[in-house]
Structure 1
């Protein structure tokens, strides 16, 4: 029997498929574009080949993804009797994902991590699902279950690092990320995790220097990984006041790699929002992005995605923003059970708040986002990604001019500045609040 590079047995009908299957496994865990090569052997009816192809279609994160994935899942399930036990559980997990049962998918990936801890494609996919529902402990738990058996694989340390970071375990996160990078300098997910640590801890100049230093290795990656790591570079540049360079990173590295891809689109939307919130003029960049977001009005794959599509459309002044908001309201009560609360209790009020902010309705933004923020983790995304929603909320508080709102903004901004004293963005925003409160020169040093 053939095996992949991690030693996992493969029940393949065609020996010629081994290389393409291995490209999926190793490409997926290394964030490399070669993962798509498995589609070149889609004619191989081996159940695991079909399951890997189904997963790739689901990663499109579009309204067509489920329909495109279903035939592959059906073929995988029809031949499951000849699959290995590891393959059977992976197939079941992908089938649960396609059916919208994310809770079941996560359970299966957790079981896989304990029974087959070198199935790192399963680990990566399990972390993806945990991430999308805000289950940070789950991200860490599934990584730690595989760590001992896969300690020789750099990528597992990078995955553990991000799990630690999302659980606010910064020392452990940094140690795991640095171990991964020591084993393999080209480990973009570990770079990403360490970038998160440095941003969270306010090590802005150090973070920018580190990400720049390793950026020469960001080659051959999938568009999400390369654009997202450059997105992190742009965050450091914004906070350090390098506005022109930050815009250049947006233009050359963040937007335009794969404009049709969901993750590239939300990276662009959130970065444009951050530019404007930091007082940087983005020119007509919203319009180009909105041309692509306009196709997303009835996707509803993840609430985290829909919210950023909506804000981008609203900032561009596009009528599709109203269409998407209407569709979110209609979809939420009928969302799959495991994610319905996130749609109803978080996405709906946040969507109304974001549209209000984009149109200058500060009271509406405060009301909608104020309801959503305490439960925002339920829609997924990282702490750094979700921060844009809090920034929008804070901006609405400040622009409202209401003293009680300014008081609330002062407390949040000063605490943030205390944790990130290098941030010129936070310094400017905090100074503006103190001026509005008649406290010019207080608190900002």
Structure 2
């Protein structure tokens, strides 16, 4: 029995495993590009180390695609076969198994249990926040980080997690203060940088936000492709706000899609969201849709995250892949891989929203409005940040404008009772 850098017991006698697990922990919390290398080296060093296998399974599951899910399976089976000595390790393995089985409620229950009894386990907190994020549950995303704050006052990465949760809950002043504190403690914390970027964008502090992101852009070279491209996406949004559309397109070509892992769902979503926003501003994006769409073919039947699916189907429609769109819509009609508790989200929100996105992409404005308007108040349930969610409202607004052909179309949005985001959540632990 040895201990990792978080002070947690690990069932292994190999110092090499501990060194690689420590490396993995740092890479995962910093969204580093060497996380996979680190955890696979840990597994090789001790193939009986259950928690190392569980971390590897979690890494692959987080990629949210069928191919990486297959890579996760043998690691999960190995983690379950080599029963570890500690309760924390067993709970973590059970949480990853629940995730793999699509039982996110059970996964969250276990991550919360770990947070209560082993609060220094920030990897578990990070994964719990991830699940809350794709449930649209900002309040619990924040509270999970708050729960472990007293035990992690000296760990800068937790402050980045706190900052993002605060921003998603609408407490912008605290989010900015804690995000800046996290970056002051560790300049190479891209998640904390990202949280501050959200605040500055929400407050319309465009020049300040652009300076903030570009002053830290050199640190993103250490990031995995997801956060590298995502932070450049946020940078592009500032240029979009300034009306510098050519720079947005250049950033798409050089950093957002140009340096993407083109098989990564999250990188694909960022690229799709960029092109849609450019088109909303009247930019002809040329053949960019046709260049991107072939990479989406393997996504048609995955249905891992509804937020992703809505982007995929709109991109395929914009690219003119009508056969693939029809195939994906039919597949969405028969989603059988999700638990009963989430079936209603897919049937009542995702499917009509997908039809609305297709109608929008095809210029069928009436159908787009008809399909999107009833589900807009529930769209936070499909996940994504407040900034990402704004795209659905913008697409609806454009469709409505075309339907009514006049300035009055914009005021008509008030007839859609959009769900209010949580706000004003205060953290008693922050004074500690």
Q: TM-score, normalised by structure 1?
A: 0.89
C-alpha contact (below 8 Å) 2:373/2:396 kept by paired residues: yes
- Cross-structure match for 1:223: 225
Structure 1: how far apart are the matches of 2:276 and 2:408?
A: 21
TM-superposed CA distance for 1:409, in Å, is: 4.6
Mapping 1:17-416, distance limit 5 Å: 17-36=17-36, 37-43=38-44, 44-80=47-83, 82-256=84-258, 257-319=260-322, 320-331=324-335, 335-401=338-404, 406=409, 408-409=411-412
C-alpha contact (below 8 Å) 1:13/1:45 kept by paired residues: no
C-alpha contact (below 8 Å) 2:160/2:191 kept by paired residues: yes
Q: State the Cα deviation string for residues 57-116 of structure 1 (Å, max 9, x = none).
A: 102211234433222222211222x33221111111101101110011111111111211
Structure 2: how far apart are the matches of 1:72 and 1:411?
A: 50
- Cross-structure match for 1:443: none
Mapping 1:415-426, distance limit 5 Å: none
Q: State the Cα deviation string for residues 148-204 of structure 1 (Å, max 9, x = none).
A: 111111110000000111111111111110110111111100010000011111111
C-alpha contact (below 8 Å) 1:96/1:102 kept by paired residues: yes
C-alpha contact (below 8 Å) 2:214/2:235 kept by paired residues: yes
- Cross-structure match for 1:422: none
C-alpha contact (below 8 Å) 1:286/1:312 kept by paired residues: yes
Is there any run of 5+ residues in structure 2 with no aligned partner, and where?
Answer: 417-432
Secondary structure of the equivalent of 2:363? coil
Secondary structure of the equivalent of 2:333? helix
Structure 2: how far apart are the matches of 1:51 and 1:4?
A: 15
- Cross-structure match for 1:7: 7
Q: TM-score, normalised by structure 2?
A: 0.92
C-alpha contact (below 8 Å) 2:229/2:256 kept by paired residues: yes
Q: Superposition RMSD on alpha carbons, in Å?
A: 1.8
C-alpha contact (below 8 Å) 1:161/1:172 kept by paired residues: yes
C-alpha contact (below 8 Å) 2:397/2:413 kept by paired residues: no
Q: Please, which moves more after superposition, 35-44 or 147-156?
A: 35-44
Secondary structure of the equivalent of 1:42? helix
- Cross-structure match for 1:437: none
Secondary structure of the equivalent of 1:252? helix
C-alpha contact (below 8 Å) 1:5/1:26 kept by paired residues: no
Give structure 1 regions of 4+ aligned residues with deviation exceeding 4 angstroms: 402-405, 409-413
Secondary structure of the equivalent of 2:181? helix
Structure 2: how far apart are the matches of 1:312 and 1:59?
A: 22
TM-superposed CA distance for 1:404, in Å, is: 9.7
How many residue pairs get aligned? The number is: 411
Is there any run of 5+ residues in structure 1 with no aligned partner, and where?
Answer: 414-445
Structure 2: how far apart are the matches of 1:412 and 1:207?
A: 32
Structure 2: how far apart are the matches of 1:272 and 1:217?
A: 25
Q: State the Cα deviation string for residues 316-345 of structure 1 (Å, max 9, x = none).
A: 0112122111111221x6632232222112
Structure 2: how far apart are the matches of 1:159 and 1:407?
A: 36
C-alpha contact (below 8 Å) 2:2/2:18 kept by paired residues: yes
Structure 2: how far apart are the matches of 1:23 and 1:338?
A: 36
Structure 2: how far apart are the matches of 1:404 and 1:323?
A: 37
TM-superposed CA distance for 1:408, in Å, is: 3.4
TM-superposed CA distance for 1:266, in Å, is: 0.3
